[in-house]
Structure 1
Amino acid sequence: MLTHLTIALDMMGGDYGPRSSIPAAVAAVNQNDQLILILCGNEQVIRDGLDKLDSLNHPRLKIHHCHEVVTNCCEPAQALRRKKDSSMRVALDLVKSGEAQACVSSGNTGALFFMATHVLKLLPGVKRPALISAVPTETKDPVYLLDLGANVFCEPQTLFQFGVMGSVVASRRLGIERPRVSLLNIGSEDIKGHEGIKQAAELMKKCPQLNYIGYSEGSDIFSGKAHVIVCDGFVGNVALKTCEGIAKLIMHKFTKALKKHLFYKVLAFLLRPVIKKLYKRVNPDQYNGASLVGLCGIVVKSHGNASKKAFLAAIEEAAREVERQIPEKIQAAFERIGTATTTSPSSKVD
């Protein structure tokens, strides 16, 4: 058990910036006595926000002033070159220097991807980092979906590596020795899909360290069929946001229906404990925090429109990854697999 855990927060990123990150930071340190947070951003804005919450002098909230902000419209390459004193870059630099053990940001995804890869570097053998997050299923365990937008197009070997990294995350988070790994495809039959996904499937089949169970369709995501589902970033991002949209739609329609008639209002009152439990189960905020795995450090990407509760969930996810030593476990997995992860992208799988 760690005696202390230090996380650097990009306080200025996302749609709401300090309006969600400041109350989330205060809530996080109040919930976790081992947690120290370095708040990266405009010092005066942060001080004013903490003062309103009577937390200005909290001993485990430390302010690191930054002059710049990476906006949502900022090009990733431009952010990398010109935003070296931004709250995002400083938070990553603190992880690189060892002053922080993880970084959390709601900022520009592309900029975070570029900066994190440049500052923290890839683990040996890793071709591309990936965004991974948990999605609720019909079973007690969530499914871990990756990539969620870091890599729009993926070669077969990259998808294979995503399977390895996803398996490590699921194993550490769920306490399962051999998580079930699947590839997201347009059908479950072996003949379905493009040539790239078929090659990725062959690589996974040939890897004894992976418990590969075949293809999954979109409808299988929530079934609990797999513990890890792998896809490229374009498909993954669309799938995740569709999942979140469906969850919000269902709860909106359900709540609206219960308010229509007196009978439904009485029924809602009687079923309140069940409704709260259901909402907690499907509420996207609790699953906020996609981890950028494959780096020599821990980086958690929060939704750009994250609320206080959602940003708090991202901080908690970063703390769990530190405690479970995710980068070290991924590196160990790649070392065990060896040359299977570094097959030439142009080579065909027999």
Structure 2
Amino acid sequence: MADSSWIAVDAMGGDVGLAVMLAGVALARRRHEGMHFLLVGDETAISEGLKAHPNLLQNSEIVHAPGVVGSSEKAGQAMRRAKTTSMGIAIDCVKKGRAGAAVSAGNTGALMAMAKLSLRTMPGIDRPALAAMLPTLGDNDVVVLDLGANTEVEAKNLVQFAVMGAAYARTTMDLASPRVALLNIGSEDQKGTEVIRDAAQALRLATHLPMRFEGFVEGDRLSRGEHDVIVCDGFSGNIALKTAEGTARFVADLLKRAFRSSVRSKIGFLISRPATELLRDHLDPNNHNGAVFLGLNGLVVKSHGGANERGVATAIGNAAKMVKADLARRIAEDLGNFEKQAA
């Protein structure tokens, strides 16, 4: 049984470096009392970095790892070094029950491959999925999966993604019955591939599960807040994610350019500053950071490689919440109920 009070952190992974990772861990500790951390990486460097964060000294343990997975390193090569890298050892801490979850900002492909090989998929799951939450105009964020783990899927995979995504939404957003939809090229029942239509038919019959299947949703409705979980294959999901991130940056840059265009615009910016700061905060990816690999026998969370300390703290906080809510058990129960009803 994993220790739910401990989170293993790959302190050396990501683009931002050890200092930002430790600052993020320290912030997460201030936000969430009772958390403990296994800081995995170069022991000497971590010990030196902890001098700037005295609040971690009594709540952390250093796990030495001599190696680091490179940002451009191939997954196969990284897997052969799993036992000596900070990423691989952090995942192994989850496997051995030393931590309830592992958090890394390192190479996504390597992290996915290592996690799947080490933790294996849960019974009833053919393929794990990468899930994350995106901002919306509604009261809650929206869970989107898969975001790149599986470029080609079958109908049963989409159904499994829906079940896992609904359990994730119930855990992270405290929703009793999340609204689930399949990403499609149209909202009509006859639209889309045979795979998507078959998945929709199976989900329409799953009325016994704690979720509401609401059919298809088009890409332009992702951020409207009309659904809690949106399911797709990894190819479509990754494109949707990158498009949403690019659009957010486009809007932010366009506003900056507009407000700098004249003296009148600068005055207008000062008047509207509270609103623009609210917009910036809502679109800031650091406030929504932390994608999770669902369907494994253990929790592994991927932090954005360029996340700042707030982003790292957000990813760690999400990991802690999933562990506390026993997300893996909820997923297993829902899958069992689905398969029992289908049989």
Please say whether Structure 1 and Structure 2 have the same fold, judged by a TM-score greater than 0.5.
yes
Q: Check the 8 A contact 1:101/1:298 in 2, yes or no.
A: yes
1:49 partner letter: G
Q: Check the 8 A contact 2:142/2:225 in 1, yes or no.
A: yes
Matched, 1:300 2:294: no
- Aligned pairs for 1:37-186 (under 5 A) are 37-51=37-51, 53-55=52-54, 58-186=57-185
Unaligned runs of 5+ in 2: none
CA distance in structure 1 between the partners assigned to 2:64 and 2:275 by the alignment: 45
Matched, 1:249 2:211: no
Provide, for residues 64-105 of structure 1, a one-character-per-residue CA deviation record: whole Å limited to 9, x for no partner: 110111112222222222331110111111111111111101
Q: Check the 8 A contact 1:4/1:34 in 2, yes or no.
A: no
With the length of structure 1 as denominator, give the TM-score of the two structures. Answer: 0.91
Shift of the alpha carbon at 1:261?
A: 2.7
Percent identity over paired residues: 38
1:266 partner letter: I
Provide, for residues 161-185 of structure 1, a one-character-per-residue CA deviation record: whole Å limited to 9, x for no partner: 0000111111222322221111101
Shift of the alpha carbon at 1:13?
A: 1.4
Residue equivalent to 1:276: 277
Shift of the alpha carbon at 1:54?
A: 4.6
Provide, for residues 271-290 of structure 1, a one-character-per-residue CA deviation record: whole Å limited to 9, x for no partner: 22222222111111111100
CA distance in structure 1 between the partners assigned to 2:73 and 2:85 by the alignment: 12
> Secondary structure, in 3 states, of the residue corresponding to 1:260?
coil
CA distance in structure 2 between the partners assigned to 1:252 and 1:73 by the alignment: 28
CA distance in structure 2 between the partners assigned to 1:176 and 1:30 by the alignment: 26
Provide, for residues 15-48 of structure 1, a one-character-per-residue CA deviation record: whole Å limited to 9, x for no partner: 2231421211122223322111111011222223
> Secondary structure, in 3 states, of the residue corresponding to 2:136?
coil
CA distance in structure 2 between the partners assigned to 1:20 and 1:251 by the alignment: 24
With the length of structure 2 as denominator, give the TM-score of the two structures. Answer: 0.93
CA distance in structure 2 between the partners assigned to 1:274 and 1:24 by the alignment: 27
Moved more, 332-341 or 111-120: 332-341
CA distance in structure 1 between the partners assigned to 2:248 and 2:55 by the alignment: 37
CA distance in structure 1 between the partners assigned to 2:190 and 2:157 by the alignment: 21
> Secondary structure, in 3 states, of the residue corresponding to 2:84?
coil
Residue equivalent to 2:195: 196
Unaligned runs of 5+ in 1: 344-350
Residue equivalent to 2:29: 29
CA distance in structure 2 between the partners assigned to 1:39 and 1:25 by the alignment: 9
Residue equivalent to 1:235: 236
Q: Check the 8 A contact 2:40/2:90 in 1, yes or no.
A: yes
| Structure 1 segments of 4+ aligned residues over 4 angstroms from their partners | none
Provide, for residues 78-133 of structure 1, a one-character-per-residue CA deviation record: whole Å limited to 9, x for no partner: 22223311101111111111111111011111211121112222221111111111
RMSD over aligned Cα atoms: 2.0
CA 1:49–1:181: 2 relative to 1, 3 Å: same
> Secondary structure, in 3 states, of the residue corresponding to 1:271?
helix
